[in-house]
Amino acid sequence: MILPGLVDIHVHLRTPGGEHKEDFRTGSAAALAGGFTMLLAMPNTQPPLVTLESWHSAQTRAQNESLCDVFLYAGASAEKLNELPALANEAPALKIYMDQTYGPLRVRGLENLIRIFASWPASKPICVHAEGESVALALGLAATYNKHLHVCHVARKSEIELIAKAKAGGLPVTCEVTPHHLFLTQADAARLGPYGDMRPTLGTPEDQQALWQHLITTIDCIASDHAPHTRDEKELIDGSPPGVPGLESTLPLMLTAAAQGRITYARLVELLYTNPRRIFNLPEQADTFIEVDPLAKYTFPEHPLYTKCAWSPFSGMPMTGKVQRVVLRGQEVVRDGLVLNFR
């Protein structure tokens, strides 16, 4: 089966400042192995990408070191509001952290949020990490300032139902869901321990069911929220950082769902390619495609992972559907599931 080179709009490649967890080379290799030829990487790095200088530095490294196309979000910071106009000219979108996550990049206070929403151009999405009541606040700000809001990693029934009502009311809002919230629940979090800890945390079976029900209508994109940490970090006794890798497991999981009749292959292309490119106004990649075997059955992962953290919450899971080959701008970069010339 031939599919376009897929787009993951939510990854953490940990560069700059966290290269022991991941870097542009290893993260982009994991992307190619997973069928993704274009990535949008998050700005909660060290330092965070909240100034034009820091953004330019990181974007230059991404272009020089990545094996696929990588574009970087701008980060919203109450202390660097004056940087937003310049960042808006360069970055594909803005990321606001409204709730607790990994890293220091959280915006607090309604006044700061108002100033950010007011100053960012309507032509580019404002992406939010918003949970619970923060989703309602973000929707209200988007309505007030007529800005395109994109809600990241929606995880709860109440949140996706609120977004569905906002969409029905004509609000310019889009949203994404992660495979870990589609395939794992609180029961898996208890089983996995720190290796099943992420933000938002895993939900109830009722939350999971609501996400699947809205996958056909309300949800616009599937995004991995690839957020690697080392095993040593995950096993810290005094509190491990939240986040799980996902670039190499996202497409196999969704192909498995398609093989089971839970979703169509055509809808997968919409969620992993068509809608991401449209929402973020991303460039076309000429002569780029992936080949998958939709009937291949195996236990994930069949070969060592390319992500530097080298673990997955989905290890040992039976899968149906595998990436066989990836061609990027006419050059074969993955053959038989292996990234060529990586090591």
User: Among 48, 40, 110, 122, which residue's Cα sits nearest to residue 83?
Assistant: 48
pLDDT at position 103 is 60
The one-letter code for the residue type at 212 is: W
246-281 per-position pLDDT tens digit:
999 999 999 999 999 999 999 999 999 999 999 999
Can you tell me the distance from the alpha carbon of 184 to that of 181, in angstroms, rounded to the nearest whole number? Answer: 6
Structural domain boundaries in the chain = 2-339
The per-residue pLDDT for 78 is 87
CATH number of 2-339: 3.20.20.140
pLDDT at residue number 238: 79
Tell me the pLDDT tens digit for each residue of 131-161.
Answer: 999 999 999 999 999 999 999 999 999 999 9
Helix, strand, coil content of the chain in percent (nearest 5): 35, 20, 45
Model pLDDT, residue 100: 73
Burial label, 210 (beta-carbon count in 10 A; 0-12, 13-18, 19+):
buried
pLDDT at 101: 67
Strand, helix or coil at 58? helix
Q: Report pTM.
A: 0.97
Mean per-residue pLDDT pooled into runs of 10, the chain (343 residues): 98 97 98 98 96 98 98 94 95 93 76 94 96 96 97 98 98 98 97 96 98 97 98 90 97 98 98 98 98 98 96 98 98 96 76
